[in-house]
Structure 1
């Protein structure tokens, strides 16, 4: 099974400044690449639905380059003049719109306050089997929301050593599959286990605090769910920049 991963490089004439919580900025840039109004409205406001939940079925990575400076007082990162991200989607229409817009644009693109241009676009092939060692390029998050005795909502984020981490991710992949294809997968087998020690990441998305985990994992499952995992992302909040994975040996 072969799947495509898109690597996009933005270039500026000066260093690139981004807030420490920049996920919503990258998300906004990707949405702007959709140049067809009805599809843009569908992706922004609806997405694919199953059991009253909406799935956008795409994900993107953190900025791949390390920051030159972390300014904690001003709460921003200083990146080099060229920054790259990975982008993936199981929705061929969305992938096509974004890719075609990128390769055909001659305009400058603002990434936050930084005036950039697209200097490079790479399509990377990943041959996916039913068992892979993967590396997270953005944190994996999975959680449950409870109502407390005080009648307030509380979110509990699972860590990779809890069984709910794997079972929740499996259920999420099944739901995404049903949202896209309007039927359950023929084979719903899927599991994920950490290799080494995962790293906890606390991310602020707009006004929300989200906890996720990065690291090396081993995943195993049916072709349908492995395909969904690599293309749409693992766990929740993929379209907000969570759960993009690559094969561990991809960038070696």
Structure 2
């Protein structure tokens, strides 16, 4: 089990039944391709040590979690509070505190990816990943958010995503259940309808959000 798979298992483990198992097995909303509508960051404060092929903590750790569904946010908070923390890969991370950040973005907004943003299209047996300089990157991010909006009963809207200071070093290749996934870190300027901007912050940008991809946090206008 990889770090990412272990963190995802810990997230689901913090959600009490029947919500946790239902989210894992079925999703909650969406036709044909059910949506989970939650997203989370990497565990911030962990440093990868190549020679040990593992991670080392440097002080307190931080995990961001968000969902477009209030019941999921509340259940996750209550779950980790009741357990006193999260168990990731057999290591218990003790809870020190919980904080709620207000989300009321105004266009344009600058965000930072705290988990890689993955954007792709499947053609037959091929999976084509797109980088932030490709026109498809912004278009597919907009389409993804509009699918989430539709599932929530919201109107479709427009979104434009512009990378700030693009560099190839921001590319991440991460393995999830035997499959390699390409994603991108970095900062981005988002411009568009307010409800899509909010959805980007509470449900993630791009695909595979419930697997720990696409969490972004507002860092300025």
Q: How many residues align?
A: 219
Instruction: Say whether 1:190 aligns with 2:151.
Output: no
C-alpha separation in 1, matches of 2:59 and 2:162: 37
What CA RMSD, in Å, does the superposition of the two structures yield over aligned residues? Answer: 2.0
Q: Counterparts of 1:1-252 in structure 2 under 5 Å?
A: 21-35=2-16, 37-67=17-47, 70-72=49-51, 74-80=52-58, 82-106=60-84, 109-147=86-124, 153-181=125-153, 185=155, 187-198=156-167, 199-249=170-220
Where structure 1 has 5 or more consecutive residues not aligned to the other structure, the ranges are: 1-18, 148-152
TM-score, normalising length from structure 1?
Answer: 0.80
Shift of 1:71: 3.0
Would the aligned equivalents of 1:48 and 1:180 in 2 still touch at CA under 8 Å? no
Q: Closer, same or farther in 2 for the Cα pair 1:38/1:146, shift >3 Å?
A: same
Shift of 1:113: 2.2
Q: Which has more strand, going by share of residues?
A: 1
TM-score, normalising length from structure 2?
Answer: 0.91
Where structure 2 has 5 or more consecutive residues not aligned to the other structure, the ranges are: none
Shift of 1:49: 4.1
Would the aligned equivalents of 1:34 and 1:98 in 2 still touch at CA under 8 Å? yes
Range moving further from structure 2, 158-167 or 124-133: 124-133
Q: Larger Cα Rg: Structure 1 or Structure 2?
A: 1
- Structure 1 ranges of 4+ moved more than 6 A: none
